Amino acid sequence: MHEFKLWAPTPQKVAVKIADKTYPMAGPSDKGIWKTTVEDAAPGTEYAFLLDDDTTPYPDPRSLSQPHGVHGPSVIYDQKAFNWDDHTWQGPPLTGAILYELHIGTFTGSGCFDSAIERLGYLQDLGITHVEIMPVAEWAGDRGWGYDGVDLYATTEHYGGPEAFKRFVNACHGHGIAVILDVVYNHFGPVGNYTGKFGPYITDRHRTPWGDAMNMEQEGSDQVRRFFIDNAIMWMRDFHVDGLRLDAIHEIIDRSAIHFLEQLSAEVDNLSAAVGRRLVLIAESDLNDPKIVKPIEAGGYGMDAQWSDDFHHSLATLLFTEPGHKGYYDDFGAFECLAKSLKSVFVFDGQYSTYRGRSHGRPVDALSAHHFVGFIQNHDQIGNRALGDRIDQTIGLAKTKVALGIVLTAPFIPLLFMGEEFAASTPFLYFADHDDEEMARLVSAGRKKEFAAFGFDQAEIPNPEDPATFTNSKLNWSEIGSGRHAEMHQWVRSLIHLRRESVCLNDGDRGHLNVTFNEDKRWLRMDRRLVTVLCNLGPDPAQFNVTSDHRLILSSEPTTVLSNCCVVVQPNTLAILSAEAE
């Protein structure tokens, strides 16, 4: 026996189709809810919905399993059947986290949850506390980044489906690693989205880069908001994930008295109390508005943290410049910007932005740096490059070691992208399989046109729809123990373990941070109470004065010299000193 429930205010009649039988649903209620109970339905039963006189059966918008793809029937899945053994699990605090972003499909050769489990011991040894998984909701086609999901409740079968995801989360917890899941609540994918058949999930009152916006404030929005919030709760309650990373929340347009994000934060706090586990929300936002991470009690939205783009842009523009138009990089490129991002988080906290042509942002004020995530690479910053090349392939190993040294000693929560820790030679390209010939053609053509403006030959741009673009993005784990890869791996591992063992490097109080720099000589110094970080990106050796109790504990190159209260740091080198007692 199974009760079917469906929000569908648009059709006049609804029925459940199971095999060759149909079962009319009663409704709709005042809120547009249809219901019926089918005696013979049980876990494993395939079903779909018939709307009005349309003979096409449509999958359930809240389907938990889509083994035949986004166009096929849904399957009843029993969320309570899995045997968890993480009952005493309490995840590590986000304030001391080392995040590791990964794409399940390219993390291993097999590209599934079960094969990813085999690498968890490696991540544990590296010092990773949280893995951040790119979206796993079902999308159209055989491969993709996951940001074009259309069945948001169904774990993609390409990675093994819902049972395999639960095995992965369970195994992560067994290795002491928390799981953050990337979710997309700002748009549906362009192929396989049937929600418009059921109700007003989308509104044409607002536009996003992907089309019409989600309906968070118009008629019917109560149930649309419920759809997304219930989805968030499902991942954390039923799949035991420890938090969510919310994609591009600046494209969630909501003028309601209680913003969608505020409502989500409040309900996640309630869930956290009920399950007895700390649950976190991390936002991606380009608004430079601290309201995103301020507590609800202080008039904020209550997100626990957000990605820090200004820090990335400030650091990246000191390391390399791109050909052609630089876009948002136009506003950066000076050590002054990097120093301000380290000390104040937002470089643009009310100043005029040349790129935007207007003033942008507001000051962070007294918030801890632990509300912000710092990185030099992530899926966007690699995958949205023309050739998907990683930063060390652009600037070399020495400068990349400096960049990672800054990321892992900065006051923010650090994030690494898979393979970054061993200077992976494999690219991370943009790949897709849109399951629609015209859509595939448009995506490929648009990609070539976009990068032609940067001076790339169109023949150089990998076709996102080509299966080879996907397979070429898979990590090559055999290279980790040799040459430059081993050198980078040892450097990153040392940095992570140093950070996790140092109270000073885990201090989120920006008042305890002092930053000095020399624009002409291209050096920067961070004093974090008893730990000092010295960065030299200039062409000449840089000399720094320190106290007599400082000792050199880590250097990206062996040429750093400490003597007589003076440190000489060679070009393209980062050195870390400590005045803490051994």
- Give a yes or no: residue 214 inside a domain: no
383 is in an annotated binding site: yes
Last residue of a domain, one of 58, 77, 94: 58
| Structural domain that includes position 522 | 513-578
Question: Catalytic: which of 262, 284, 331, 527?
Answer: 284
Q: pLDDT band for 581, please (50, 70, 90 cuts).
A: low
Judged against a pLDDT cut of 90, whether residue 582 lies above it is answered with no
Average pLDDT over residues 118-136: 98
Residue 38's domain is classified under what CATH number? 2.60.40.10
Judged against a pLDDT cut of 80, whether residue 25 lies above it is answered with yes
Last residue of a domain, one of 58, 75, 103: 58
Minimum mean pLDDT range among 143-152, 282-291, 378-387, 489-498: 378-387
Active site residue 60: no
Active site residue 284: yes
Judged against a pLDDT cut of 90, whether residue 451 lies above it is answered with no
Minimum mean pLDDT range among 213-222, 292-301, 350-359, 444-453: 444-453
- Give a yes or no: residue 126 inside a domain: no
- Give a yes or no: residue 468 inside a domain: no
- Give a yes or no: residue 518 inside a domain: yes
Residue 525's domain is classified under what CATH number? 2.60.40.1180
Last residue of a domain, one of 13, 37, 58: 58
Angle between helices 309-319 and 335-344 in degrees, nearest 10: 160
Average pLDDT over residues 161-190: 97
Please tell me the total count of domains within the chain: 2
- Give a yes or no: residue 28 inside a domain: yes
- Give a yes or no: residue 8 inside a domain: yes
175 is in an annotated binding site: no
The whole-number pLDDT of residue 559 equals: 85
Q: Name, in order, each residue with C-beta under 8 angstroms of 318's C-beta and a sequence gap of 6 or more.
A: 333, 334, 335, 338, 522, 537
CA end-to-end distance (rounded Å), the chain: 66
Q: Which two tokens stand for residue 186?
A: 């700002």
Q: How far is residue 111's CA from residue 118's CA, in Å, rounded to a whole number?
A: 12
The whole-number pLDDT of residue 440 equals: 72
Q: How far is residue 232's CA from residue 200's CA, in Å, rounded to a whole number?
A: 20
- Give a yes or no: residue 450 inside a domain: no
Judged against a pLDDT cut of 80, whether residue 454 lies above it is answered with no
Average pLDDT over residues 491-507: 97
543 is in an annotated binding site: no
The whole-number pLDDT of residue 320 equals: 86
CA dihedral in degrees (227, 233, 235, 236; nearest 10)?
170
- pTM score of the predicted model: 0.96
Average pLDDT over residues 66-74: 97
Q: How many residues does the chain have?
A: 582
The label of the residue with tokens 């966007």 reads 380
22 to 1, 2, 16, 36, 303: CA distances (angstroms): 15, 14, 6, 11, 44
Average pLDDT over residues 310-330: 83
66 is in an annotated binding site: no
Judged against a pLDDT cut of 60, whether residue 29 lies above it is answered with yes
Question: Catalytic: which of 151, 182, 247, 251?
Answer: 247
Judged against a pLDDT cut of 80, whether residue 453 lies above it is answered with no
334 is in an annotated binding site: no
- Give a yes or no: residue 554 inside a domain: yes
382 is in an annotated binding site: yes
The whole-number pLDDT of residue 456 equals: 63
249 is in an annotated binding site: yes
The model's pLDDT over 404-417, given as tens digits with 9 standing for 90+, comes to: 999 999 999 999 99
DSSP bridge partners of 212? 207
